[in-house]
């Protein structure tokens, strides 16, 4: 059953390739020399991420790991542009972090409603209608479409909750959630009843509400991966406030102070930031408390650390309203739920430029083609000065310009590379 909740997945995504441009000439009775009319290829479809609030896990990505958008269609005669490839929309739960699989850097935090374009489709190639000039009236070439972007990413779900319930298994967190919200978590009298986080909305007063998350019970060693706790500590990362539920009944022979300190140590081991997260302590199961001294020891211990303590019985609905009012009051003083800023910076593409390129002259235009050149152009932002300089440097270091000079290219000659045209200058 533990596998029913999936909160981390690695997937490969690839946008569609652009369609090829067409080589065609106008053919019509009584119309002489109709000229080139090959249309452009359609752009490839993109990979788009969209939040879906009906999803609560990454289970869909457990069995399907590769996502590919549709390619653009090739251009046709009569200046017909090929059909644009259909974009692929991938739905993810709210709160999903998208990380680069190689560096671990955050690409996007899917916490809002706006769709995010993860991979852009390749541009369609130009048809030969673009290459007609007064001196080149019958261009017999067109451009191939560019490859779409591709990426290996890790999806990581971090719940968007204001408040996280933390504590040992079977201390009454699920019962508390069921009492204060409409959530219906599975509840039973054995450890690890909760195998995945449950969310509930708590309405305190008109216009005052918050999202409460029941996190599976943390056990000692969770920060190092022991038990179930480690899998779910990440879901506390966004919580603005922690409600630390401690069993003071003594029914299992546990020491409330030792339990409290053990959980705090796990939070510290996982993250120093989490250790310092504001806490409110809920002393639960007070209605069946065997030794009131246990409660007083806990109260003195936590209040000495600056944490307020509320005595409750979730099962008997005692003290719960006062606790939720205190939680709402504390939340009003805290900053909003954390949204992670993107860290990923698109790096210059590493391209093996050793493979020879195809260089030919057609109608006075130098046409340069080759797989690595096509890939290079697809990843250059020609609107950026540094990106253009990097592109020029890559071409020079590959020996392309030297080879073209040996073949007789002159200053001012037109060079065409996959839809990119420029006048050659030494």
What fold, for 163-331?
A: Rossmann fold (3.40.50)
Q: Which comes out higher in pLDDT, residue 119 or 145?
A: 119
Question: What DSSP character marks residue 156?
Answer: E
pLDDT in the model for residue 33: 59
CATH dotted code for 1-159: 2.70.210.12
pLDDT in the model for residue 192: 42
Q: In the chain, where are the structural domains located?
A: 1-159, 163-331, 352-426
Tell me if 163-331 shares its fold with 352-426: no
Tokens 């954390």, residue located: 338
Tokens 């539920």, residue located: 245
Q: How much is the average pLDDT of 201-223?
A: 77
The string of DSSP codes covering 183-224 is ------SSTT---S-EEEEEEEETTEEEEEEEPPPP-TTGGG
Q: What is the CA angle 111-233-316, rounded to 5? A: 95
Q: How much is the average pLDDT of 20-38?
A: 75
Distance, CA of 281 to CA of 110 (rounded, Å):
31
The neighbouring-strand residues paired with 13 are: 67, 151
Question: Where does the pLDDT of residue 53 fall: very low under 50, low under 70, confident under 90, or very high at 90 and above?
Answer: confident
CATH superfamily of the 352-426 domain: GTP-binding protein OBG, C-terminal domain (3.30.300.350)
Q: Is the pLDDT of residue 380 over 70?
A: yes
Q: What is the CA angle 121-43-16, rounded to 5? A: 40
Question: Where does the pLDDT of residue 56 fall: very low under 50, low under 70, confident under 90, or very high at 90 and above?
Answer: confident
pLDDT in the model for residue 52: 92
Tokens 């007083």, residue located: 296
Contact 131, 141 (CB under 8 A): yes
pLDDT in the model for residue 232: 63
pLDDT in the model for residue 309: 97
pLDDT in the model for residue 130: 79
Contacts for 355 with CB less than 8 Å, ≥ 6 apart: 370, 371, 372
Distance, CA of 367 to CA of 358 (rounded, Å):
8
Contact 40, 21 (CB under 8 A): yes
Give the 3-state secondary structure of residue 366. strand
Residue 208 CB: number of other CB atoms within 10 A?
14
pLDDT per position as a tens digit, 137-152: 777 777 788 889 999 9
Quote the mean pLDDT of the chain: 85
Tokens 């409660």, residue located: 295
pLDDT in the model for residue 188: 41
Closest CA to 149 of 47, 33, 271, 243: 47
Question: Where does the pLDDT of residue 220 fall: very low under 50, low under 70, confident under 90, or very high at 90 and above?
Answer: low
Q: Which helix (H) or strand (E) holds 174?
A: helix 173-180
Q: What is the CA angle 328-331-332, rounded to 5? A: 90
The neighbouring-strand residues paired with 8 are: 156
pLDDT per position as a tens digit, 244-284: 999 999 887 889 999 999 999 888 888 888 889 999 999 99
Give the 3-state secondary structure of residue 258. helix
């Amino acid at each position: 059953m533990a596998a029913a909740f999936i909160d981390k997945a690695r997937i490969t995504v690839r946008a569609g390739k652009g369609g090829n441009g067409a080589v065609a000439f106008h053919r019509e009775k009584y119309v002489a020399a109709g000229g080139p009319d090959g249309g452009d290829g359609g752009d490839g479809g993109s990979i788009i991420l969209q939040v879906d609030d009906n999803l609560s896990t990454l289970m869909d990505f457990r069995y399907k790991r590769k996502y590919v958008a549709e390619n653009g269609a090739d251009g046709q005669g009569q200046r017909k542009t090929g059909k644009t490839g259909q974009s692929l929309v991938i739905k993810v739960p709210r709160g999903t972090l998208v990380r680069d699989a190689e560096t671990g850097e955050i690409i996007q935090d899917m916490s809002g409603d706006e769709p995010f374009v993860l991979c852009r489709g390749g541009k369609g190639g130009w048809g030969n209608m673009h290459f007609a000039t007064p001196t080149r009236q019958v261009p017999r070439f067109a451009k191939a479409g560019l490859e779409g972007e591709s990426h290996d990413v890790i999806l990581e779900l971090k719940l968007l909750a204001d408040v996280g319930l933390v504590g040992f298994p079977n201390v009454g967190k699920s019962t508390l959630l069921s009492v204060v919200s409409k959530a219906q978590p599975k509840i039973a009298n054995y450890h690890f009843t909760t195998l995945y986080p449950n969310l509930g909305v708590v309405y305190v007063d008109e216009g005052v509400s918050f999202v409460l998350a029941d996190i599976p019970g943390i056990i000692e060693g969770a920060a190092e991966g022991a038990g179930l706790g480690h899998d779910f500590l990440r879901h506390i990362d966004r919580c603005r406030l922690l409600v630390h539920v401690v069993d003071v009944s003594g029914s299992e022979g546990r020491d409330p102070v030792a339990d409290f300190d053990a959980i705090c140590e796990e939070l510290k081991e996982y993250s120093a930031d989490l250790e310092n997260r504001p806490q409110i302590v809920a002393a639960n199961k007070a209605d069946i408390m065997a030794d009131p001294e246990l409660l007083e020891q806990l109260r003195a211990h936590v209040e000495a650390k600056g944490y307020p303590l509320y005595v409750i019985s979730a099962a008997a609905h005692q003290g719960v309203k006062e606790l939720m009012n205190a939680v709402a009051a504390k939340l009003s003083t805290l900053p909003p739920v954390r949204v992670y800023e993107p860290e990923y910076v698109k790096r210059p593409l590493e391209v093996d430029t050793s493979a020879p390129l195809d260089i030919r002259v057609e109608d006075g235009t130098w046409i340069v083609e080759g797989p690595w050149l096509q890939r290079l152009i697809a990843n250059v932002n020609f609107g950026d000065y540094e990106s253009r300089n990097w592109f020029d440097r890559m071409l020079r270091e590959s020996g392309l310009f030297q080879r073209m000079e040996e073949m007789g290219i002159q200053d001012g000659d037109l060079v065409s590379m996959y839809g990119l045209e420029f006048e050659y200058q030494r």
